[in-house]
Amino acid sequence: MPVLHNLVNNNELRERMLAETEPRTTVSFYKYFQIADPKAFRDALYIALRELKVFGRIYVAKEGINAQISVPASNFEALKTFLYGFDAALNNLRLNIALDDDGKSFWVLRLKVRDRIVADGIEDETFDASDVGKYLKAAEVNAMLDDPDAVFVDMRNHYEYEVGRFDQAMEIPADTFRDQLPMAVDMLQEQKDKKIVMYCTGGIRCEKASAWMKHNGFEDIYHIEGGIIEYTRRAREQGLPVRFKGKNFVFDERMGERISDDVLSQCHQCGEPCDTHVNCVNDGCHLLFIQCSSCAEKYEKCCSPLCMEEAKLSPEEQRTRRAGRENGNKIFNKSRGRLNMTLAIPLPDSDK
């Protein structure tokens, strides 16, 4: 029986990845379809992807698959051929190739079985996730942006929205996707007669959100095919204006893909224009926040003087300080004036 999980220390794996000379391609994909035996599906997938030297984070559930991975460039076509033949539902699967990629996004393959590929909190058994809104391609997105009867709805988290978005896009100010869904229904009640355009990073959240809006009586529902990633790629290929501004937050080590030169957010410490997300280097914090280079130097890549002090302690002293207190990665949410507890770099709402 082959080993179906990683046995090597994470630090060693990261060093191995950084020492690689062949470039890697970062790819994301998802598909809603019925998987009868997610565990067997996961195990067979793991064996094949390991042979192709794939790194990344993949979730499998009865409702489908959600993946963000990197693959050696020479293995990309083999990966595509494998996926298309692995299951009939994956034939011609859309693969979103990263826009701003140094190939250093992942260094280990993690493949997990979950209840849902996107945690949505929906318990209504009559809900049909496959009854989605109409897809919009790049040129259609640009036309909708100029349509006064269209409302663009951003189905991402605040830390994604603050560094990049479409002009006039509505933010749904909830901490998780499961909370956003009912909130979006409530917030858009007075605009039921308008064209509702939903978007997200790669399409997985806005596709399910479009189905939920239809389930709740909204009729003129659209979502951007492939999300921000595919929209930007196609617009550039077709010579169209790219109307998304700023950075597209991504859920790997890069934390962002530069789409335009616009900087829409500020350093959370000094308020200067900045859109660089970092994690506080204090192992007892790891806050996800925006920090400029000056503050990174001033605060030694920490989020506060307290974390600067704690990061300099011995490992034993750090453990003593952390004992008995709630610990975990946090996200700074300036719009609500508090710290929100969640994983620093999750797959989109997959573990909330």
Question: Where in the sequence numbering do the catalytic residues fall?
Answer: 200
> DSSP string covering 83-106, please?
HHHH-GGGTT---EE-SS--S-S-
Cα angle, residue 159 at apex, residues 156 and 163 outer, rounded to 5°: 95
Distances from the Cα of 37 to the Cα of 6, 64, 97, 118, 154, angstroms: 22, 11, 28, 18, 33
Which of 163, 158, 168 is closest to 260 using CA atoms? 163
Residue type, 236: R
Give me the torsion for CA of 177, 182, 187, 193, rounded to 10°.
Answer: 110
Phi, psi of 30 (to 5 degrees): -155, 160
CB 246 within 8 A of CB 156: no
Q: How far is Cα 256 from Cα 248, in angstroms, rounded to an integer?
A: 5
Q: How far is Cα 165 from Cα 257, in angstroms, rounded to an integer?
A: 12
Task: Name residue 57's beta-bridge partners.
Answer: 68, 110
CB 349 within 8 A of CB 118: yes
